[in-house]
Amino acid sequence: MDTQLLETQFQDKIDQDIRIEPKDWMPEDYRKTLIRQISQHAHSEIIGMLPEGNWITRAPSLRRKAVLMAKVQDEAGHGLYLYSAAETLGISRDQMMEQLLSGKAKYSSIFNYPTLSWADIGAVGWLVDGAAIMNQVPLCRTSYGPYARAMVRVCKEESFHQRQGYEILLMLSKGTDAQRHMLQEAFNRWWWPALMMFGPSDDNSPNTEKSMKWRIKRFTNDELRQKFVDVTVEQAKILGLTIPDPDLKWNEERGHYDFGEINWDEFWNVVKGNGPCNKERLETRQKAWDEGAWVREAAVNFAEKRKAKTIAA
Amino acid sequence: MSNKEWPLWEVFIRSKAGLDHKHVGSLHAADAAMALENARDLYTRRQEGVSIWVVESNNIHASDPSDADELFEPSKDKIYRHPTFYDLPIELKHM
């Protein structure tokens, strides 16, 4: 069959909302786009464990510690679901690991910001997981079956992440002046980076059109960002927070909040590797990978030896 | 140093007694025992199951999507295999 016909049939399936499965024919570019997006998503989950992991020992109570450990463990799980989904497209786990460590593959820039106080852990749960949920819910209906199924699982688990974060902040908002100050400071640090999580604006996002046509994405970056601003501003009121944006105001006509211009120079700078923690994050992953090498190797040797013994017996 | 990747395993979970094991995803592990342990950590963190099967992925043989028509098309025109095909009087009971 010629490629033209295959492509038409492929697009027909997409248009009818029939999911694409691993062994189905797909355009090379669809495969590549998905590998890039899913592996980047997986890397984000794995790197995302680092800013929160560093607070586990300092969580203010046993309850908070148990919750934070459960959340970080979930992030590891989410990374693994997504790596598996990407592997169905023909890339190996080791290749993805190599691309992450060499800097060839990106992960969400948000994790290159530091978590300076306990309030930052609350802000990460509320804003970072909140923005992630906004992105991920439509991905449950993405056109590639294994990705969609992984996202259903992720979304089910993600809701507690956001709620536990908000609960941390709610507690602080009812605390002392110093605690409320710490809350506002953390919010000021995370507000803008959270808005950047939705990626470049639509007129600067060259992949959006294709991804929409293939129904990998179902909403544009700017649509999702607007939705996030609209819901989050209301949630911030309950915490008594001031939004660090003098241009933020309700627009009656649009039925949405208007908000100020994002600092895109900062965005691209962090993407390019110059954020506050880029270097540290990758060094930490590299160290874990290197120090785990003997375990990976020993497990393989043990399994092979045991197999040989069973066959001999 | 060997650079061998741990093999891929498919994971099936029985969510409660009386139900089938259902495919939930895959993972890497060096052997079956490790695959079961990893499956427990990865796929049953919220009481999703009471039993786990793991199968090394290369032991799964799948039909080819391009054979789908010849495999599944023939049953399409055999609607007489379904009970609703038969038009019976309303007063007929227990059938």
Contact across the interface for A302 and B31, Cβ inside 8 Å? yes
At a CB cut-off of 8 Å and minimum separation 6, what does A285 contact? Answer: A46, A47, A50, A100, A101
Mean pLDDT, chain B, as a whole number? 93
Residue in chain A nearest B65 by alpha carbon: A24
The answer to whether the Cβ–Cβ distance between A23 and B42 falls below 8 Å is: no
Alpha carbon distance A274, A267 (integer Å): 10
pLDDT at B75: 81
Number of H helices, E strands in chain B: 2, 3
In the predicted model, is pLDDT for residue A291 greater than 80?
yes
pLDDT tops 70 at residue B95:
yes
Query: In this predicted structure, what is the pLDDT of residue B11?
Result: 98
- A-chain CB neighbours of B64 within 8 Å are 23
| CA distance to A54, A72, A166, A221, B95, per residue, from A129 (Å) | 17, 12, 10, 16, 54
Tokens at A178, concatenated? 């110093």
A184-216 pLDDT, tens digit each: 999 999 999 999 999 999 998 888 889 999 999
Answer yes or no: is pLDDT of A81 > 50: yes
Q: What is the DSSP letter of A242?
A: P
Residue B57 tokens, joined: 């992925």
Q: What percent of chain A has pLDDT over 70?
A: 100
H-helix or E-strand containing B52?
strand B51-56
Rounded to the nearest integer, the mean pLDDT of chain A is 96
- For residue A205, what pLDDT is reported? 87
Under the banding of pLDDT at 50, 70 and 90, the label for residue B2 is low
Contact assignment for B27 to A80 by CB distance below 8 Å: yes
Dihedral pair phi/psi, residue B5, rounded to 5°:
-80, 145
Angstroms from B66 CA to nearest CA on chain A: 8
> With pLDDT > 90 as the criterion, what percentage of chain B qualifies?
83
In angstroms, the CA A176 to CA B34 distance is 49
Residues of chain A contacting B2 with CB distance shorter than 8 Å: 297, 300-301
Q: What are phi and psi of B7, to 5 degrees?
A: -65, 160
Is residue A109 within 8 Å of residue A270, measured between CB atoms? yes
| Domains of chain B by start residue, with CATH | 8-60+68-81 (3.10.20.520)
Q: What is the mean pLDDT of residues B35-46?
A: 96
Whether B73 has its CB under 8 Å from any CB of chain A: the answer is no
Structure tokens at A72: 């970080």
Per-residue model confidence (pLDDT) at position B3: 67
Residue A12: pLDDT over 90? yes
For residue A66, pLDDT over 50 is answered with yes
Q: How confident is the model at residue A87 (pLDDT cuts 50, 70, 90)?
A: very high
Residue B49, classed as helix, strand or coil, is coil
Torsion, Cα B60 A75 B41 A311, to 10 degrees, reads 40
pLDDT by residue (tens digit) across B74-90? 888 899 999 999 999 99
Q: Which residues of A touch B8 (CB under 8 A)?
A: 84, 87
pLDDT band at residue A1, thresholds of 50, 70 and 90? Answer: low
Tokens of A280: 């540290």
Tell me: pLDDT of A234 over 50. Answer: yes
**Two structure tokens written together for A104:** 């060839």
pLDDT digits (tens, 9 = 90+) for A240-287: 999 999 999 999 999 999 999 999 999 999 999 999 999 999 999 999
State residue A166's pLDDT score: 98
Average pLDDT for A77-105: 97
- Residue A149 contacts B, CB cutoff 8 Å: yes
CB A225 within 8 A of CB A198: yes
> pTM of the entire structure?
0.93
* CA angle A216–A222–A228, rounded 5-degree value: 100
**Residue B17: how many CB atoms within 10 A of its CB?**
7
Indicate left, alpha or beta for B4 from its phi (over 0: left) and psi (-120 to 50: alpha). Answer: beta
Q: How confident is the model at residue B1 (pLDDT cuts 50, 70, 90)?
A: very low
- Please compute the mean of the pLDDT values over residues B55-72 and round it to a whole number: 93
Scanning A288-307 for CB atoms below 8 A from B yields 293, 296-297, 299-303, 306-307
Q: Say what the pLDDT of residue B74 is.
A: 84
CA distance A186 to B91: 72
> Mean pLDDT across the stretch B2-30?
93
What pLDDT shows up at residue A206? 82
Instruction: Compute the residue count for chain A.
Output: 313
Distance between CA atoms of residues A286 and A98, nearest Å = 10
ipTM for the predicted complex: 0.89
